[in-house]
Amino acid sequence: MQWDVLSFGETMIRLSVPVGERLEMTSSLEVRIGGAESNVAVALARLGRRAAWCSVLPQNPLGRRIAGELRWHGVDISPVHWVERGRVGIYFLDTGAAPRPTQVLYDRAGSAIATADPDSIDLSMVARARLLHLTGITPALSPACREIARRLVERAGQLGVPLCFDVNYRSLLWTPAEAAEALAPFCRAASVLICGRGDASTIWGLDGSPDQVLAGLVELFHAPVTVLTLGDEGALAQTGDGQRFQAPPVQATVVDRVGAGDAFAAGFLHGYLDDGDVARALRYGVALAALKLTLHGDLALVTLAELEAIVAGIPRAIVR
């Protein structure tokens, strides 16, 4: 295979307000890029994995900014479909400090990927990957994006390429009821299903202890590997044969929470890809998420040596 992981999704320009200022009054904005699927690709590429990212980008400075930065980190952007006209989505980060929360303002409607023609995406690229990674953000962007994601999953199924699907609910894009209906087929198709505890509650009404929420996800979708992320409490997983695994949290000084969930997904996949060791994958996931919390921006700019040093201190645990 040419790639370990192929992802598809939107990457936006991130404009961040300096700490201590407000968006409505600031005189400067920090420019970065961010998108769930490309965040995963960057993290994996920096860990030495062969990662590729597909999207739709306009031939303008912002499109080139996104492509150039991903390429610099080692992500293969050859699957990107370029269009002459269109726009890149933008999001503004009004950076908070306790007790004031960080707030996000999106300006992404009508982006090049949201208005893409599904027939413009070359599905044959799926055959070049060991694993396809998608999130629940992409189907929420537009009917066209939902159709592209559906076709990618269908082709992966035909080729026997496993799917990692991260639910990643965004309340600013759609309602819980809309998400529940649209995401169910993707969850059922996943070989690895990743869902946050809050998303499981919001979308499917799964509440209770982490064990109970995980059991609810397993009962709903029967994924070969189901992963429940618990934020500051670590993560749980269950395999198709009923084994349960748990990874404790890694303490971190929080600099920027954005992208921590994507870092978890990347770390999990890095630990899982070679031999399907779920316990090890969980440890890599929580470790990379913790390291991401210490960094500004969406991207987990972490080396393999840094990650291995943290993982070495996380005990292996199996919950039966």
Q: List the catalytic residues.
A: 262
Q: Which residues pair with 201 in a beta bridge?
A: none
Question: Which letter, b or e, does each residue of 180-217 get, where b requires 16 or more Cβ atoms within 10 Å of its Cβ?
Answer: bebbebbbebbbbbbbbbebbebbbebeeebeebbbbb
* Burial class of 274 by CB neighbour count within 10 A (0 to 12, 13 to 18, 19+): exposed
Structure tokens at 206: 């799964």
- CB neighbours (10 Å) of residue 50? 18
- What does DSSP say about strands 225-229 and 192-196: parallel, antiparallel, or unpaired? parallel
Given a contact cutoff of 8 angstroms between Cβ atoms, the answer to whether 154 and 188 are in contact is: no
| 133, 166 contact by CB (below 8 A) | yes
Q: Cβ neighbours of residue 8 under 8 Å, at least 6 residues apart?
A: 37, 53, 54, 55, 121, 132, 134, 138, 148, 149, 152
